[in-house]
Amino acid sequence: MKDAHPHATSSSKPTSVESVRASASHALDTTTASVRDLTGKAASGIEANPMSALVGGIALGAIVAAFVPRTAQEARLLSTVGQRLSNTAYGAVDAAKDTAKSELGVLGLSRDSARDQASRILEGVIKAISTAALAALTAANDTSAAKKAPTGE
């Protein structure tokens, strides 16, 4: 009767699948907790120093833009809109810079303190991404090890 189901799995395979699921669930829980913690820290940091948040947001946007290529159709369709937005953005950036400099001067904040705050935010983001990547690698290694383990047949 054992040969009735030639593709039946041994008892170790459901355990390895359950192990992978548990690892993935743990990784998700860890990442979720890290993101919640980072979100709270980021909110506190934004409230404490909104200019650092602006600088961090601009830096993050520039990084994302560097990795997402523009398509030919996108360039063709949006070139005039992009030029108008660019001109408007330059004016807004100049006005924001002037306002920020005067506000920072009034508050007694320096470039160094703003840079330190942006650095701390970026370090937190990098830590969260590293934790998620490590969890994913661990789950993948567990899956690979489970596949290589002898089935006892």
Q: Where are the domains of the chain?
A: 38-142
- Residue 8 DSSP one-character state: P
97-147 pLDDT, tens digit each: 888 888 777 776 677 777 888 888 899 999 989 888 888 888 877 776 666
Band of residue 151 on the pLDDT scale cut at 50, 70, 90: low
pLDDT tens per residue, range 28-74: 888 888 888 888 887 787 788 888 778 888 888 888 877 877 778 77
pLDDT of res. 152? 54
pLDDT at residue 5, rounded to an integer: 47
> Which pLDDT value is given to residue 64?
82
Q: Say if residue 4's pLDDT is above 80.
A: no
Q: Rounded CA gap, 147 and 141, in Å? A: 10
**CA distances to 18, 85, 99, 141 from 9, in Å:** 14, 60, 68, 21
Q: Report whether pLDDT(148) > 70.
A: no
Predicted pLDDT of residue 57: 82
Cα–Cα dist 148/103, whole Å: 62
Report the alpha-carbon distance of residue 109 to residue 49 in Å, rounded. 9
pTM, full prediction: 0.27
- Dig out the tokens for 145 from the structure: 């090890």
Question: Predicted confidence band at 153 (pLDDT cuts at 50, 70, 90)?
Answer: low
